[in-house]
Structure formats: structure tokens, C-alpha cells
Amino acid sequence: MKKYFLSFTICILLLFMISGCGPNYTEATPENPESVNEDNYFTSIIEWREDGVNYCLKYANNTKVVYITAESGHRYAITTVLNPDGTPQLYDKNFRY
């Protein structure tokens, strides 16, 4: 009898663990209204594709900080481009890539 009770209890616990105890997702809303649409926030400099990954070099319109993005399937990455001294690189008319 104890064996059946123990197996029944374990089955119920597993059922609760599997059945919808996951996180609730909410859509993030940006604090800055300018950043609602990415096209208004970033300006693309150059785009290229390499080994199935789409790369894009872009800068933020308000700060002029240069970013590089990588996109492949459902994966997306973004990071700043840094100067040799570790400061973020800024976009200007003489920017070279």
C-alpha cells in the first residue's frame, strides 16, 4: 500500500511540475518613445552575410555610438564597437569600417 501511495504522490508531483508552472512573459515597453521603432533609433552603415549569419554595422541616432549586430535564424546579438582604449566608437563623417 505504501508503494502505491508513494508512486501516486510522485506522479501527481510530476504532473504539477509539467503542467504550466512556467514563467509569464510580458512585452517590454521602452522608456524612450524614440526607441519604439528600430528604424528611427538606428541607422545602418553596412550589411553583409557570412556563413549563414547576417551582420549589420549601425549607429544610434541620438548618441552616435556604433553597434554591430548578428542575426541567424532565431538568434540575435548586438554589441558596441570599441576603440583601442576601450571607449565606445562614435560615428562621424570620417568613419571607416
Read off the pTM: 0.58
| pLDDT, mean of residues 22-29 | 52
DSSP 93: T
Q: Number of structural domains, the chain?
A: 1
Domain that holds residue 68: 36-97
For residue 6, being part of any structural domain is answered with no
More confident of the two residues 95 and 53: 53
For residue 58, being part of any structural domain is answered with yes
More confident of the two residues 27 and 94: 94
Burial 57-77 (b: 16+ CB within 10 A, else e): bbbbeeeeebbebeeeeeeee
